[in-house]
Structure 1
């Protein structure tokens, strides 16, 4: 007895060879399999806390909520209270000044050091390693050390300035509302210089030497070479440095808490310290979530606009 088996023919998709279709489906599934752990991690540790923080900003969330589980919605009461708080307006301005001042100082000095070390000389590796120390030391430790150095009465900085006759009185670095924010900016610049120097130095090493040789043959001077070759070639690296520097500076908390505690007279309060104060000192988690959401929103807007403005550096057309 003969059995005839009839197989249903597979209809090929137009324009795609039949033998490549299963392979393409398998490859697509394999790619998603590799991406899945990262997606799960992002959703669990970034997506869920972000959504939870947004919801909390519309709730009356107090320490009692941890025991009762009740956090009634109060609409925009938290947002109204935050925007009507003069401390929030002042902290927004302080955050802007602190971030812009820190980024300008860190990037400028870091770029100068990177260009300096791009010219090899004896002990250059050792000196670069020493300059990395501020970046390796924990932020709180650096802040405590600088608080001792900047002390108005016993600080080494004031003693040195008066011994050199650069000033005839002790400078109130951390005790004057008009100077404290500047002191915090200077300390943060000192902490951030090594990061900028290392990243920019790495970018300088990737610039082809032939470009500098051609510029030298054409008679270009150091400034013209730097402006026409070094800076354009460094644009992708500069983008990364500024974005990462902005993200780390705008939310900074530990440096200011250890250095000034937000004082004197709230002159060094930033969005980060206000979030901490509302949430963990006044225990108003709803208003603390509002400031935290604003901080996240500002960071996201900066990242999106800056990356879109420089998307050509990443191989995309404008």
Structure 2
């Protein structure tokens, strides 16, 4: 201990301290809860044994029970649809807005900043706003669709099993589009203007320039955005809690909300921990893809 203190005073161990303290901080706040959750997924847990590590070990029983439940596969299907549709919508609208603001018209920077309001707002606030928009009786969305002649009667977006999941998807697309727009705008600004000038001299039109220059140059950026979108979307909980609560009849339930429901409503902590471990694996895989995408972009 005396050697460590003397090395810190001499400045020799300062670099070690810079690494050790943040690592200890992350391990205490993230590592220990993760280890505790993994252990809990292999144990039999009840209300009385929740606060201790010493619980009966049941092996893979919690995972086997989880996948034998009838609601598991519909919820996994909902999760896949939610993630795929949300990421596709966020990338499409984010890319469209990034291309729109790329023209740099007067007031573009101010208008671009307004789009960031949705990203900085808390998820529960966004959910409350979309609760009003999606209301079946007096919602703005029904009013707009009726005025345009698209529908004849009100649609109860939050309570209709055919629309409840898509209601949350719509809100999540709105929430994440501005973030995608900013990242894609940065990627577009890094493309050399000489490429477009040369292709325009060669007679390429707007769509040809987009297909042969913009998309290939943005490939790594889009890959990173998709990876980040997967991470954020798998962690989305607030919108489900605020808009549908996973209902009706699990029609809008997804794994992240189901894990919370099993743990804190049904008090089945082991099953909730098992779902959380499975989700953690997918998030870690997405993180690896994101790191590889950004590394490729830096090298390029």
Q: Give me the whole-angstrom Cα distance separating, in 1, the residues matched to 2:107 and 2:18.
A: 44
2:90 is the alignment partner of 1:106: yes
Q: Give me the whole-angstrom Cα distance separating, in 2, the residues matched to 1:308 and 1:124.
A: 33
Which residue of 266, 270, 288 corresponds with 1:286?
Answer: 270
Secondary structure, counterpart of 2:218 in structure 1: helix
Query: 2:159 — aligned with what?
Result: 175
Query: 1:313 — aligned with what?
Result: 297
Query: 2:4 — aligned with what?
Result: none
Q: Give me the whole-angstrom Cα distance separating, in 2, the residues matched to 1:185 and 1:277.
A: 20
* Bigger radius of gyration: 1
Query: 1:74 — aligned with what?
Result: 58
Q: Give me the whole-angstrom Cα distance separating, in 2, the residues matched to 1:179 and 1:35.
A: 49
Q: Give me the whole-angstrom Cα distance separating, in 1, the residues matched to 2:92 and 2:238.
A: 24
Which residue of 201, 214, 221 corresponds with 1:230?
Answer: 214
Query: 2:3 — aligned with what?
Result: none
How has the CA–CA distance of structure 1 residues 301 and 136 changed in structure 2, closer, same or farther, with 3 Å as cutoff? closer
How has the CA–CA distance of structure 1 residues 275 and 29 changed in structure 2, closer, same or farther, with 3 Å as cutoff? same
Q: Give 1:80 shift.
A: 1.9
Secondary structure, counterpart of 1:176 in structure 2: coil
Q: Give me the whole-angstrom Cα distance separating, in 1, the residues matched to 2:80 and 2:138.
A: 31
How many residue pairs align between the two structures? 291
Q: Give me the whole-angstrom Cα distance separating, in 2, the residues matched to 1:259 and 1:222.
A: 41
Secondary structure, counterpart of 1:86 in structure 2: coil
Which residue of 144, 150, 155 corresponds with 1:166?
Answer: 150
Q: Give 1:164 shift.
A: 3.1
How has the CA–CA distance of structure 1 residues 67 and 250 changed in structure 2, closer, same or farther, with 3 Å as cutoff? closer
Query: 1:55 — aligned with what?
Result: 39
How has the CA–CA distance of structure 1 residues 256 and 108 changed in structure 2, closer, same or farther, with 3 Å as cutoff? same
2:136 is the alignment partner of 1:152: yes
User: Which segment drifts farther, 38-47 or 232-241?
Assistant: 38-47
Query: 1:34 — aligned with what?
Result: 18
Q: Give me the whole-angstrom Cα distance separating, in 2, the residues matched to 1:115 and 1:129.
A: 15
Secondary structure, counterpart of 2:153 in structure 1: coil
Q: Give me the whole-angstrom Cα distance separating, in 2, the residues matched to 1:35 and 1:225.
A: 46
Q: Give 1:228 shift.
A: 1.8
Q: Give 1:31 shift.
A: 5.0
Q: Give 1:299 shift.
A: 2.0
Query: 2:178 — aligned with what?
Result: 194
Query: 1:122 — aligned with what?
Result: 106
Which structure 1 residue ranges, 5 or more long, are not aligned? 1-25
Query: 1:301 — aligned with what?
Result: 285
Q: Give 1:84 shift.
A: 1.1
How has the CA–CA distance of structure 1 residues 135 and 221 changed in structure 2, closer, same or farther, with 3 Å as cutoff? same
Query: 1:7 — aligned with what?
Result: none
> Under a length normalisation based on structure 2, what TM-score does the superposition of the two structures give?
0.89
Q: Give 1:199 shift.
A: 0.8
Q: Give 1:236 shift.
A: 2.6
Which structure 2 residue ranges, 5 or more long, are not aligned? 1-9
Q: Give 1:46 shift.
A: 2.6
